[in-house]
A and B are shown apart, each in its own frame.
Chain A
């Protein structure tokens, strides 16, 4: 299960909406071994594409070094799909290289409804996992719009104005 703070999830969704129709990407870092994503780092999509993403290589080195210095790791790796569901594509699975990370997919294909789902991708095998959103206190109405993702494991998140 991925447990993530509502404010961070909000910011990820906002990033995906802002970059639409290009794919947005980034990570949420957390203390090594904690499984706690607490530092959001939006990354530049060097491909600037609606069908592909790749972290800018120079930025990636800087961010990875910074995590090393802080004894952090990429707990969440997120990117958006702008015309397809929030499910890993074949390319996503083939290129996934962080077996310890939660791969968070955000679909912005519908303008008024954002789909957020989380997956583990290890050696080409994909397992969806529930997403638990915590501290959703900023806007109580927003809490109503989260379906806590146990069964089905999809979290539907309604974008607010």
Chain B
């Protein structure tokens, strides 16, 4: 199913400047993999080599941090919105 994905400023270099794009899949991981087909490289900015979310990237399904919903395995449905935000963090 088609899911709207909101892209943060720093990743819009991958999406030709688009603030929101569409991705297909039944889980967060599938949607992000689908995005990588059209926007090569974007998945590596979000997912580690082991297939987990990068520690300093926040991905939300509607209003919830997907870390509380099963992370990359979180199920998505038509009408859902995925929002990506880089964590604001430092030392």
Contacts and interface: CB of A to CB of B under 8 A. Distances in A.
Interface of A: 25, 27, 43, 47, 51-55, 57-58, 60-61, 64, 77, 79, 88-92, 95-100
26 contacts: A27-B88, A47-B89, A52-B89, A52-B91, A53-B89, A55-B87, A55-B89, A57-B58, A57-B60, A57-B67, A58-B63, A60-B88, A61-B58, A61-B60, A61-B63, A61-B65, A77-B88, A88-B90, A89-B91, A90-B91, A92-B90, A92-B91, A95-B56, A97-B8, A97-B86, A98-B88
B85 interface: yes
Nearest to B11: A97
A57 B84 CA distance: 11
Contact of A89 (B10, B85, B88, B90): B90
Given A53-B91, A61-B58, 16 more contacts: A25-B88, A43-B88, A54-B88, A55-B89, A57-B58, A60-B58, A61-B63, A61-B83, A79-B90, A91-B91, A92-B91, A95-B56, A95-B87, A97-B10, A98-B86, A98-B88
A52 B65 CA distance: 21
Interface string B3-14: 000001110000
Given A61-B83, A61-B85, A96 B60 contact: no
A91 to B, nearest CB: 3
Contacts of B67: 57
B60 A95 contact: no
Interface of B: 8-10, 56, 58, 60, 63-65, 67, 83, 85-91
B10 A53 contact: no
Contacts of B9: 98-100
Contacts of A97: 8, 10, 56, 86-88
A60 B65 CA distance: 10
Contacts of A25: 88
Nearest to B62: A61
Given A98-B9, A98-B10, A60 B90 contact: no
Nearest to B58: A57
Nearest to A91: B91
B89 A54 contact: yes
Contacts of A64: 85
B36 to A, nearest CB: 19
